[in-house]
Amino acid sequence: DSGVTQTPKHLITATGQRVTLRCSPRSGDLSVYWYQQSLDQGLQFLIQYYNGEERAKGNILERFSAQQFPDLHSELNLSSLELGDSALYFCASSVGGGNAYNEQFFGPGTRLTVL
């Protein structure tokens, strides 16, 4: 157990819908990272938040957005869902995040299925 929690574990929804994935980082970690894992694209970095502020952006679609709250938990919002958005979404956390690399600890993931 990494100490990072994600809910829900599984999510099944229809095309065009909107969903919210939730992540709670390890105690003391200030950074949260979101990754998308699909069969053909591997693990793709989406976005990073550090202490409530967006720190880095990766291959995140405009239909997707995220935020980090004062209690440091983070939510990833996916809207206008398409079949291709079906994937495993991982959250990771680290102590720092920006001036140096700190080990990232991954949560158990949320499996999203879009029908």
Partner 1 sequence: GENVEQHPSTLSVQEGDSAVIKCTYSDSASNYFPWYKQELGKRPQLIIDIRSNVGEKKDQRIAVTLNKTAKHFSLHITETQPEDSAVYFCAAVGSNYKLTFGKGTLLTVNP
Q: Which residues contact partner 1 by CB under 8 A?
A: 2, 33, 42-45, 48, 56, 58, 90, 97-101, 103-104, 106-109
Which of 114, 47, 38, 52 is closest to 83 using CA atoms? 114
Smallest distance, partner 1 to C-beta of residue 37, A: 9
Compare residues 83 and 101 and give the one whose CB is closer to partner 1.
101
Compare residues 56 and 79 and give the one whose CB is closer to partner 1.
56
Residue with tokens 């409530």: 52
Locate the DSSP E strands across the chain: 5-7, 10-13, 19-24, 31-38, 42-50, 53-57, 64-68, 74-78, 87-94, 105-106, 110-114
Smallest distance, partner 1 to C-beta of residue 34, A: 12
Smallest distance, partner 1 to C-beta of residue 114, A: 18
